[in-house]
Amino acid sequence: MTDPTPAGYDEFGLFHENAEEVGLPFDRPPVVRREFREVAPGRRVSALVWGEGPPELVLLHGGGQNAHTWDTVALALDRPLVAVDLPGHGHSDWPTESAWLDPASMADDIAPVITELAPGARAVVGMSLGGATSIALATRHPHLVPRLLLVDITPGVTGDKTSDIAAFLSGPETFATFDEILERTVQFNPTRSVSSLRRGVLHNSVRLPDGTWTWRHQLGRPAMEPGLHVERADNLMQWDALQRIGVPVLLVRGSRSPVVDDEDEAEFRRRRPSDDVVVVADAGHSIQGDQPLELARIIEAFVRPVTG
């Protein structure tokens, strides 16, 4: 499979746009590199490594997204970190086994990547499917998760709550032009700027040999039922598993998101009375896209007691 990109596209050449859009200073490009690690014969997981020091954070994106969803947050944090492409997303290969979207399998895949690239990380931040994966990671590989921040995800998520996400991801598998794939993205994200969405689509799409466009998470995926519902969340995780995690957990929810509601927040507080919940105003499910500076501030405050 070839991977041609639009003329002039540079994966690491758009950070100035991220900074300008939210008013962050931008004196020079950040130090960012892409790494690949083999997790099974012929199958690799990729990640973006920010900074030159030992990574202090691990960021896990949601279904249908990729590591670049964190770009503005990473710029605002200005600290060494690793943003992982979940298996089957971004530049990471799809699992070939039947459990292709099982958070436990994803956690097992990314555990050796974190062990090698960010063994001393102070916290894991998981959004949506990445949050489900981070819960599994904290359960199965607890030494890798000293603190956990969940972005708009709890075990209370259901298919009904993620119906809008499902509708978006269940759209056409290919598009005649880049403008068509961007137009669909804008249609489903009316509160986001077109420039922001264009960057996201550039990072998350590829042009096929026949000239059409498709999402990166469509490439090499195993056979599945019609329509890709990456955020299909029923039974992805259980409240008991979240309750058993023995490290601090912070839940951050978007005020306009249907994915985590008041009942979910109440159940989280009941299960983890020593932990807290933060509601981000004017944010939907993808808080890192809607309110990246506020999310960066929340992450910073969450890890500050650890970093001193």
| Active site residues per annotation | 128, 152, 285
Q: Which two tokens stand for residue 267?
A: 């159940």
Strand segments (E) across 41-157: 43-50, 57-60, 81-84, 123-127, 148-151
Pairing of strands 148-151, 249-254: parallel
CB-count burial class (<10 Å; 0-12, 13-18, 19+) for 206: middle
Residue 69 per-residue DSSP state: G
CB 94 within 8 A of CB 88: yes
Amino acid at site 109:
D
Strand segments (E) across the chain: 32-40, 43-50, 57-60, 81-84, 123-127, 148-151, 205-207, 213-215, 249-254, 276-280
Of 98, 94, 89, 92, give the one whose Cα is nearest residue 128. Answer: 89
Of 145, 141, 105, 99, give the one whose Cα is nearest residue 126. Answer: 145
Of 41, 35, 94, give the one whose Cα is nearest residue 67. Answer: 35
What's the rounded Cα separation, in Å, for the pair 76 and 50? 12
